[in-house]
Each structure stands twice: as C-alpha cells, then as structure tokens.
Structure 1
C-alpha cells in the first residue's frame, strides 16, 4: 500500500542555527541568559544575514539534463553549508561559515542520484549527502581543497512511504522523509517506527541510517540499526538492494556495512523498516538521589533487570537544575514505561523499588496520578535546549554537548575525568569557570551512555576555537578510559582524529579498500570516516 508524498511545512528553518527561525530567543532573553554565564558579551551578536556572505557564482555548471534538479540559489547554498553544532552556529554568527556549496541538488529518484554521482565523478565535484542538516559533528560540510566544486545532495524530495506491510509490520520508505511526516503516514495504520531522536522534527530516515542514530528510548532497541530490515544504496560503482529478511547468517551483513557509513560509501535512498504498534499504556515518575554514585548503582540494577523501561535517564545535580527537574542539589532519575498491549504500572513500581533500594526517593506514581513535575520539566527542557544554546551563542558563550558510552566499571571515573579535565581546560582557555554537567541518555546491562553539557564564557570572536580546545581535551579523556568517541552523534569530521585512534587497524584497511572500490573518484563526503 503506497502513501502520498509528505506535506510541506510553511514555517521557515533557520539557516544559521537550530530549528525554526521563529522559535529562537529574542534579544532580551539572550541578555538575561548571558548574565548567568561569566565572561559573556554585554549585548547579543546580530542575527547573521545571507547577503553578508557575498556568495559568488558556482565553480561548475551542471549539464542541461541535470539542470532541473540543481539550484545555485544563495539561500539554498548557505543553508546547506553546515550542520547545527555549536561550532557551526558560532562560525555563522561571526560570518565565517566555511566552504559554501556551489550547487544544491534535489534528486527525485534513484536514477537522479546515480546521474548526479556520475557527473560529479567526471568533473571532480565533491558530493555531500544531506538529509535534514541536523548533524552536530561536521557531517554535512566540506573542508577540503582537492575538489573543483561542492554539490550538496539534498534527499528531502524523496520523501514517500512506498509500501506498508501490516502483516509483517514493516514499511518501505524513501530516505528523505522527515521524522514527523513518517509518523503521520504510519499513524492511520496504528503503527510507529518508535525512533525519536532529539532532532526528530528536523532529521530524515536516511540521516538516521547513515549515522546509526540513537533514539529517545533508553533501553531495548535504542538504535536505528535495530529497525532496519533492508537498504537500497546508490554508489558511483552501482546500485544495490539487500534482501528483506527477518534475520540472516549469510556472511557479514550488507546492511550493517552501510549503516553508519555517513554518505562516504554510498547514498541510502530507501529502506524497509520494522514497525511496532503504537503504545496505548504509559506511566512515568521521577526519583531523586542525594548521591550520584548511588544513583548510578540504581540505574545499573534497573538496566540489568528484565523491566526494559522506555525512559531511564539519570541527570546529575547540575543537569537536573539546568532542566528544572530539581533545584535542591539532587540527581534525578526520569523513568518511563510504555506498551501497546498491557498496563505498565506494575513494571514502573518494580523499577521504583529498585531505585528506592539504592537510596532514591519518589513522588506520586500510579495510573491516575499526573506525571511527576520533574518528568514534565525535563521533557520541556529537552526540546527547548538547542534554541537556548543558540541564544547563549549570540552572547559569546561556549555551549555544547558531547556523548559517549563505556562499561559500568569505567563510568564513575570517566564522569569525574571529564568534569575535571574540561573544567580545568575551560578556565585556562577563557579565564572563567565552566559548568560541566552529565546525564545518562541510554543504559544497557553492560554499560551506559553519558552525555555531557558544557557551558562557559568564550573569547570574543574566537568561540569556535575555544570549543575545539575543550573538545580535544575531552577526546583524550575518553580515549584514556576506552570510552567511544560517539554513542549516537556519528563521526563526521569533528570526530575523525578520535575515530582513527579507536578503530582497529585491519578494519581501517578494509574500510579504505571499500571506499576505493565503491567511490573510485573519492567524491562522496570527502574527509568522513576515511581519507583526507
């Protein structure tokens, strides 16, 4: 059963910052936030204008056969220059966005993608696949010099649900569909993909697959990998589609080869995705802990049980205060359960018992009680935080997050190492103290994914460089503790140094060989995963 194309929204995306252009803090709110961070500016930086970039003509002209797919419009080129990391926002605010694409293409089908790749290979044009543009690791910008021109390959015109198989609970979906549109197409069938990253509103299925994105849910099937049944990928060497199967032991998985490849090996154009029935039963509560170490033990106990909470996020005292979940110095555990088949209050009650056994204290729970106030506060802050980050960036603050994952035995020392290392580095770089908070976003029986928030004053005009210095310190701490450079944000260009240190050398050799075989001209997202 095929579905119609997704409807277009009439709101305007911000070209320089996160999300909707009309949702950013105004000047007064920026000033109020800046007053809370030592070392910030007296007044916010002005909103950047595309006209100030003085975008010149493209270095190449596409052939007449491809012209209908391609634009050189300055606004389109500016909005496809960078992702949405702090360093992207800081550079845009200072009028230094980096290499602006010469052209932006909107292919409508697999053949369009193949034709664009063939032309680009013949003319030394770098091709940067682009979904929603929400990368926070430099995954959608070009930083090299060896290519004649840059083409941003925007997949969002390929946004259809091609088929829904209700018997198998799966759907064939084009890669350019945005999260809300996909859920709108599945909702009439009582189905959901159940993948809700923070960027859900502004990211695409193809982007999730290409970056091995993690969703909002904290346990169980947390990654997009778990939902991918079959992929179709267009490469300069040809197009291939894996078989749609519930499982297979036939050699290395072709799907896992392209999952996480970030557009460097091929362009994912469509996928069969495993679906679920929409949840009908939900319950949530918050638990306060006076001691973070006790809270970590509680979360480990819950993760190693068979309860499988949908949400199991532990906020340290600083993160709880920042989100409004607690103001008394307590760490807060946000717990949530859901099911499509049966009530979940019993599972929530058992999880709360485990939390209390480790020193946690709880508020109201139960089917008739409203969600705990801390839960609601956290949810609101979770969605609003990227906009507030951009408001603080306008005040010259350094505000960014990074995430990792490690085994339980390393988590306590890792958290302390990041707090101390980044805190010292921030004072050295700026002369002001930094706020370094931590939360656990995903938990597993054998470990967890700590997610760090850093807020510090900047050096006026040099904010992106300050963050680069702090991130380099953080990377070294992660490496010492054998914690991954990324749990769900992907590698991009910002994490290349750490990724090269983390991956085994034989795997690196195989990846280089695969890149050469599939992309002989080296045009696909140069600098990501392999190469310069």
Structure 2
C-alpha cells in the first residue's frame, strides 16, 4: 500500500461490459423527507400510545400496526410507568447557530459546482449521530456548535479536491455516511473554532465494477447497506454484511468503524470482507496496489484505515468479496434452562466451528422483553401459547424466571443447511436445550431492527435507554455478564434509581471468545440530569468490563464516548504509533472530530489560521 496523488479509480471490469450508474437510494439526499430528524429510523415507523396501550405504526417490520398490550404491561411492571399519550415529540427548530465561514474555502467550493448547503436544517441533522447524548441534546436544541456547510461529492476525485481545499485553508472535515454512529464519532466538536465542513458521501453510491470470476466487487463508500445488498441480489450475489444499522449505515462507515454483522459466521466481519480500500488523506491517497487475496508486504495498512473513525481521511472506494446468494434460508430458535447452559452451548458450537450464519443467545430479561412485543392473538392462538407455556413449565420443568433463548439463522445449500440444523440441535440437547420453532427465530432476528425505535419512544416517556457492547474470552464470558449486571445494580442503588433494566445477549462467537451486548434503561422521573446519570453508570459498567477482561469495544468503535480509555487499551507505544500516523497523514488536524484520541493535535497560531467570519 502506498500514499499516492494519482486520481485513478480501482482497475477492474464493468458489469456485462456496460458502465455502471448511480443507484436510486432508499435514503434520499434530503434525508428528512424519509427519516426522522429527531431520532432513529423511518418517519413512517414509530411507537405511539393509543389510549393506554403502546402501539406500533408502520409496515416495514413484523409489528405492522399492532397494538401491544403485553409490552404495555411489561413497561408498567418493569418501570412502574403508565404511558402518557399526550406527550408530544419535539418540533424541528426554526433558529440555528450561525455558521462560521472561511470565505476562501467557501468560494473554492462554489467554484467547483459541487452540491453544497449552509441551510440550518441540513446542518442540524448532520451535526450528530445516534447516541443517547446526541438525541437528548437534539430534542432540547442544545447544540451550540453545528457544522457550517454540507458538501455532497459525487466521486473520488471530488473528495480529493475538497480535501485539498480544506487542507489549504485549514477547514475541519467530518466524513458523514449514514449518521448511525453510537459512539459520538460524527458528533460535531463543540469547541472547534475553525469552519466545519460535513463531507456527505451519500451521492457516492455506484457499483464501479464487478468480477464474477474472482467474486469481488468495487463500490463507492457512500452506498447504504440495504441498497448495496439489493443491487447485488438482483444479479444473484451478496456481501452478507448485516449490522443492526444495515438499513441506514454505509459501506464507508462499516470500514471506518471496523464493523461487524449478524451473519459474520458465514460471511465474516468487515475486515474479512475487504480486499482493498482507498482513502483520501490531506497528504495523498492511501491504497494498496495489488488486489490479490492475501499479500505479505509488511504491515497491512488496510487495518490502519479500518477503525480510523474519520480521523485520518475519507474512505472513497472499497473492493469487497461477494458470494452467490444462498438458495436456502431457514430460521430456528432454542430454549435453555438458564443463561449458563446457553453459554456452554455457544462455546461448544464455536469450538466445533459449526456456527450457522447467525446464532444469538438472550438472557432471561431479554427473552421476556422479546415475548412482550408479541401482538394479541385470537382465541386459538392464545390456546396454543398456553399449551406451549404449559409444556415448558410442567413437562420440561423449567423456571420461567431463568430460561433463556437463542435465535438461529441457517443459510446455504439445502443439504448443508439440513446437516447443520441436525448438528446444532444435537449440541443444544447436550446442554438441556430444545427447539422452539422457526417462527420465533425469524421474529427474534428481525425484531433486532425494531429495538432502536424503542429508545426514542422511551425517552419521550421518561425512560433513558441505550446499549453498549464488548468482546471477551470464553472463560470470562459468564463472570463478566454477572459482574457488569451487579455493578449496574449497585450504581442504580447509589443514584437511588429503583426502576431499571440491565440485560445482555451473546451476539457473535469466535474460537477464543464472543461479543456481549448489554441493554440498560431506567426511569428518570425526578432526576434532573438523566443523561449525565446514565453516562456515569455506563462509564462504571465500562470500567467493570475492562477489569473483567473485556474489550473497549467489539464493533461500536471508540468515538468520543470511550476515548478516555483508548490510550491504556492500546498501550503507550500503540498510542504513539497512532499519533505518528495522524501526523503523517493529517498534519494540520483537519480531520478533527476528536475520536480515539486523549489529546487533540491542535494547530498552532503560526500555521496561518485564516480569519473566521460569521456569515448571516
């Protein structure tokens, strides 16, 4: 890999000999036409209250316009809260912070005829990601500093020109893809005095070339996950990368945050899928020349790009591995007497390397929560539910306050799927697990995409809720889960929080360990600063995770919310290596989002910082 100043694209072939075109994305350039400005997801999909019952509106997910009385009861029992139908969601502000304009940069951008905007609404909706802190501040119109201009490059060369202007005029660049970050990585730095330019990659979404023989494809980085898969599925292929944010996150974001997907067991994490990546830095273009499947040419600088979180440059083009679409897809589910038996099952499956495309283990709290999201059935459906519950408790002798469940997804050729199903169910039987049906598995898998919508509804009903994750070795998996839960319980007691939820699931498995995902929520009625309180408790949980042998992050990244632990996580020498790369690639610190770092590389006054002017 080398740093170059050339402007060529990746070499390769066009599809069927034709030049590829930009696609019509599910997410338009004017995002607010389709997505909520104030929270997660589509405008036409949300939880609401009808009378005293929580309901879901929208036909994109399996809840499809359902009334959810079981979920309503669960909220009351768990949080001692009766939902209020009269609480409104916030309205879009009409006043916005005035932009700070570097006139030389602004004039250069105008001369390029690249689409750009300094409208307050466009700037506001791109000043943040999806952390609880971001949304809470957004609802209260509390951002004092938002970006000053948005630019929409259409290709790699546009990005090179924009970055060269920013470097020349000392303007901050924050790359923006899908806006789904939950680490604070794209949140506008509030103390930045220079002009801030959001480089929105959404118009860079072409498939540049495809090699069917090599099963590789080159996409521009701004393509959204669901668009990427839809285009490949049309020609019988898939990348198979499916993070929880898959509907809205972009390929460039996956690379920049070192993302993981729910089907990584078959297709791999992003580092397994990337063959070659191109990143524009202020000092040139970083890329590897060869597209061979593996090279031994010193350190692999693909891994410098992956996880850089917008601090070193902008990812513009990515070569990925693709696979033929699997002819068979089947869901399944398992029930275990308790979480420990479930973890032993997961360990055995990983040890034997027989994981299906996805296998995720929920603890009892999450299992009950998932069951509460089922809609009311008719008389016959209620009878079947009673019989199933009776079977679990009376015949199997399980305690409903301890049981846990696993969701399964199998993909591949029919014979391979059937063989894998038999093996998985045999292993489950060794640990007192038994099948609970494909319908439950499919529902549990797809409901993952709905959970994020609950956060915004809960916040409007005086409940703060968020998730955090880690990875850990197998021998410490169960103890880490217990320790973190106990730490959160003790912290809640210290803050006099009586109504809260702390639960976990094992979402990805490896030879040496697994990923653990925690959900934490509490009722904040009477608490003056609920988000600060939440963050204090989560920080304590993170301290516990690290002391229990867990990682700083499995796939969310570091961003701003975890950067205080970054140096100790990578060691002093590792931190120095990162600093050296930063200095070499971005000497003026124009990629100054403030992620990963424990100190900012501030540019000294002598570096000719231009006079900043407020542009009304």
- TM-score grouping bracket, smaller chain normalisation: over 0.9
Aligned ranges for residues 158-197 of structure 1 at < 5 Å? 158-197=204-243
Structure 2 residue aligned with 1:480: 547
User: 1:263-308 CA deviation, whole Å, 9 max, x = no partner?
Assistant: 1111110011100011112333211111211111111001111323
| Match status 1:275 vs 2:326 | no
Check 1:34–1:295 CA distance in 2 against 1; reply closer, same or farther (3 A cut): closer
Which of the numbers 412, 436, 441 marks the counterpart of 1:339? 412
- Partners of 1:363 and 1:402 lie apart in 2 by 28
Match of 1:505 among 556, 568, 572: 572
1:285 is aligned, of 321, 332, 340, to: 332
Structure having the higher Rg: 2
1:60 counterpart = 2:66: no
Q: Does 1:209 align with 2:209?
A: no
After TM superposition, which residue ranges in structure 1, 4 or more long, deviate above 6 angstroms?
none
The equivalent position to 2:295 in structure 1, one of 223, 226, 248, is 248
1:361 has 2:438 as partner:
no
Where does the alignment leave 5 or more consecutive residues of structure 2 unmatched? 1-14, 56-71, 375-388, 390-399, 601-616
- C-alpha spacing 1:45/1:140, structure 2 compared with 1 (3 Å): farther
Shift of 1:67: 5.8
Please say if residues 187 and 593 of structure 2, whose CA atoms lie closer than 8 Å, have aligned partners that are also in contact.
Answer: no
Please state whether the residue corresponding to 2:326 is helix, strand or coil.
coil
Match of residue 14 from structure 1:
36
SS at match of 2:477: helix
Tell me the TM-score normalised to structure 1 length. 0.93
| Separation in structure 1 between the aligned mates of residue 447 and residue 270 of structure 2, nearest angstrom | 24
Q: 1:66 to 1:205 in 2, by over 3 A?
A: same
> Cα deviation per residue 1:488-526 (whole Å; 9 max; x = unaligned)?
111111110122221122111110011011001101143
Query: Match for residue 387 of structure 1?
Result: 453
Query: Is the counterpart of residue 469 in structure 1 residue 539 in structure 2?
Result: no
1:25 aligns with 2:72: no
Distance 1:285 1:443 in 2: 17
8 Å Cα contact 1:398-1:466 kept in structure 2 = no
**CA distance 1:44–1:397, change in 2 (3 Å):** farther
Residue 426 of structure 1 corresponds to 492
Q: Indicate the residue corresponding to 2:89 in structure 1.
A: 47
Q: Distance in 1 between matches of 2:114 and 2:354?
A: 53
Deviation at 1:44, TM superposition (A): 6.5
Q: Which residue of 1 aligns with 2:392?
A: none
Q: CA RMSD in A?
A: 2.2
- Partners of 2:259 and 2:556 within 8 A in 1: yes
SS, match of residue 198 in structure 1: coil
Alignment partner, residue 368 of structure 1: none
Q: 1:506 to 1:40 in 2, by over 3 A?
A: farther
Instruction: Give deviations 1:71-94, integer Å, cap 9, x for gaps.
Output: 101121111011112222222222
> For the residues of structure 2 that align with 1:278 and 1:380, how far apart are their CA atoms?
19
Q: 1:72 to 1:256 in 2, by over 3 A?
A: same
For the 8 Å contact 2:177–2:202, the answer to whether it is kept is yes
Shift of residue 314, structure 1, vs aligned partner: 0.4
1:239 Cα offset (Å): 1.3
**1:302 has 2:349 as partner:** yes
Pair 1:5 & 2:5 matched: no
Deviations along 1:179-238, whole A, 9 cap, x unmatched?
121112212321101001111110110000111110112535431111100111100001
Alignment correspondent of 2:278:
232
**Alignment partners' CA distance in 2, 1:423 and 1:44:** 32
The TM-score with structure 2 as length reference comes to 0.81
| Matches of 1:497 and 1:45, distance apart in 2 | 36
State the shift of 1:359 in Å: 1.3
* Alignment check: 8 A CA contact 2:156 2:316 kept: yes
Q: Tell me how far apart the structure 1 counterparts of residues 96 and 87 of structure 2 sit (CA, whole Å).
A: 19
Alpha-carbon offset, residue 472 of structure 1: 0.8
Aligned to 1:80: 126
